[in-house]
DNA sequence: AACCGAATCAACCGCTGTTTC
DNA sequence: GGAAACAGCGGTTGATTCGGT
């Protein structure tokens, strides 16, 4: 258990802050500022590490902190933002003046999750949702990589007993200004030929009429889609360059969203309560207990060598 | 009043990205 | 270019509080 370099000192205190410590920190920062946090403890006369001081100041002591219960408006905003950016608490917090990422994170983990589960339990159809196992995350690939996949790798694959054709899923940021003409062409084809409902809804994979239409699937999304909610995504790096894999399986009004480092957490949520057309989760890593790596420019060659169907029925 | 489980939330941990040397 | 230091973030822990029995 390595500590932060500034915390390696023997006499560093841990645990709750006393009022005296708070007072020392406030007095120091209000008079000197906090140029370098690692220097703050010594200069302020605190036996804490700089990291701890920073956290205490940011989360509890800074003057613009807003305490107390979240308002319904704040709650709604948190839900909407979480729907878009996932567990990017700092990003969500930047939209709620005076609220901290830690506070929002705690709030979400306790109250909002509970509320959503309560709503789901009241929804009859969600009491026994169909269970699908997604075998691979969508792949973020350049147009050239997609070409290679379609020409070389795809024909080698045998038919899936449940879904006769392999079904790689590619995602593009159609709002990216850096899209090449080839990418734009692929996006255009995808949006012309594909109904996103067929892309996402696993039930449709069993409808022979639509099989050819959905494979492979391209999902174009736009980081500029909504000026209120999608524009902030641009500065988080979500787009063709900073894209993260995500998984979503929809079934009528419910969606199974997977999240967590090893896809260990899965929940059904009622999508009707959300206002935006796309509900998705950014996953740092996905895969059902496998060593699936998030596709990045460095590992994408490995990530796209095989194409199981994106959804594999397990019951 | 005492106990216990659930809920809450402050703080820590470990990791990643950025900056500096 | 590489290492070290640092800032910042999200996940997790654990102490405290709350509520039910």
Arithmetic mean of pLDDT over chain A:
53
Q: Are residues A113 and A239 in the same domain?
A: no
Q: How confident is the model at residue A115 (pLDDT cuts 50, 70, 90)?
A: low
CA distance A313 to A144: 31
**Residue, of A206 and A93, whose pLDDT is higher:** A93
Q: How confident is the model at residue A13 (pLDDT cuts 50, 70, 90)?
A: confident
pLDDT tier for residue A100 given thresholds of 50, 70 and 90: very high
| Residues close to nucleic acid strand B (C-beta < 7 A) | A 1-4, 7, 13-17, 48, 51-52, 55-56, 59-60, 102-103, 105-107, 109-111, 114
Task: Classify residue A43: in a domain, yes or no.
Answer: yes
Same domain, residue pair A141 and A277: yes
Chain length of chain A: 315
Helix (H) or strand (E) run with residue A42 in it: helix A40-44
The answer to whether residue A46 sits within a structural domain is: yes
**A98 and A175 share one domain:** no
**8 A C-beta contact, residue A205 and residue A211:** yes
Q: Is the pLDDT of residue A53 over 90?
A: yes
Q: C12 C1' – A14 CA distance, angstroms?
A: 16
Asked whether residue A95, judged by its CB, lies under 7 Å from any atom of the DNA or RNA strand C, the reply is no
Q: Are residues A14 and A135 in the same domain?
A: no
In a domain, A3, yes or no: no
Domain contains A283: yes
Is pLDDT at A204 greater than 70 in this prediction? no
pLDDT of the residue at A84: 85
Q: Are residues A190 and A45 in the same domain?
A: no
For residues A198-223, give the mean pLDDT.
32
Instruction: Tell me the mean pLDDT in the region A22-29.
Output: 91
Q: Which of A19, A34, A61 is the last residue of a domain?
A: A61
pLDDT band for A122, please (50, 70, 90 cuts): low
pLDDT digits (tens, 9 = 90+) for A57-69: 999 998 888 888 8
* Spatial distance from the CA of A225 to the C1' of C19 (Å): 46
**Residue A229: pLDDT above 60?**
no
The reply to whether A95 and A203 lie within a common domain is no
Radius of gyration of chain A (CA): 23
At residue A247, φ and ψ (nearest 5 deg) are -135, 140
Based on the fold, state whether residues A272 and A185 are members of the same structural domain: yes
Q: Where are the alpha helices (DSSP H) in A149-229?
A: 181-193, 196-200, 208-214
Same domain as A279, residue A200: yes
In which band, very low, low, confident or very high, does the pLDDT at A276 lie, cut at 50, 70 and 90? very low
Q: Are residues A168 and A248 in the same domain?
A: yes
**Is residue A226 situated within a structural domain?**
yes
Q: Of A5-19, A86-100, A263-277, where does mean pLDDT reach its minimum?
A: A263-277
The reply to whether A1 falls in a domain is no
User: Among residues A122, A142, A164, which one ends one of the domains?
Assistant: A122
Count the domains in chain A. Answer: 3
Q: Are A215 and A85 in contact (CB under 8 A)?
A: no
Q: Are residues A108 and A184 in the same domain?
A: no
Residue A66 lies in a domain: no
Pair (A141, A94) in one structural domain: no
Domain that holds residue A107: 72-122
Comparison of pLDDT for A174 and A84, the residue scoring more: A84
Residue A159 lies in a domain: yes
What is the CATH classification number for the domain harbouring A95? 1.10.10.60
Same domain, A44 and A168: no
A109 beta carbon < 7 A from strand C? yes
Per-residue pLDDT, averaged over A35-64, amounts to 89
Of residues A52 and A117, more confidence is placed in: A52
Residue of A287 and A141 predicted with greater confidence: A141
């Amino acid at each position: 258990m390595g500590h932060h370099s500034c915390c390696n000192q023997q006499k560093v205190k841990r645990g709750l802050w006393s009022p005296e410590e708070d007072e020392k920190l406030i007095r120091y920062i209000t008079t000197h500022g906090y140029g370098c946090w690692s220097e703050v403890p010594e200069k302020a006369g605190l036996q804490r590490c700089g990291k701890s001081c920073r956290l205490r100041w940011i989360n509890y002591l800074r003057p613009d902190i807003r305490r107390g219960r979240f308002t319904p408006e704040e709650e709604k905003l948190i839900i909407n933002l979480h729907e878009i950016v996932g567990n990017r608490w700092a990003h969500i917090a930047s939209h709620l003046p005076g609220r901290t990422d830690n506070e929002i994170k705690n709030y979400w983990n306790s109250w909002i999750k509970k509320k959503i589960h309560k709503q789901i339990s009241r929804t009859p159809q969600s009491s026994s949702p169909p269970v699908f196992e997604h075998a691979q995350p969508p792949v973020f690939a350049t147009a050239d990589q997609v070409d290679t996949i379609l020409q070389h790798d795809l024909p080698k694959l045998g038919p899936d007993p449940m879904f006769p054709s392999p079904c790689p899923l590619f995602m593009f940021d159609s709002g990216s200004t850096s899209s090449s003409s080839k990418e734009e062409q692929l996006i255009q084809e995808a949006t012309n030929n594909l109904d996103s409902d067929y892309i996402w809804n696993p039930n449709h994979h069993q409808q022979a009429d639509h099989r050819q239409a959905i494979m492979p699937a391209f999902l174009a999304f736009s980081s500029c889609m909504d000026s209120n909610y999608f524009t902030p995504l641009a500065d988080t790096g979500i787009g063709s360059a900073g894209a993260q894999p995500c998984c979503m399986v929809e079934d009528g009004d419910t969606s199974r969203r997977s999240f967590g480092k090893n896809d260990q957490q899965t929940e059904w949520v009622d999508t009707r309560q959300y206002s935006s057309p796309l509900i998705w989760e950014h996953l740092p890593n996905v895969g059902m207990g496998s060593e699936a790596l998030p596709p990045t420019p460095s590992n994408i060659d490995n990530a796209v060598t095989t194409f199981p169907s994106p959804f594999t029925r397990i019951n």
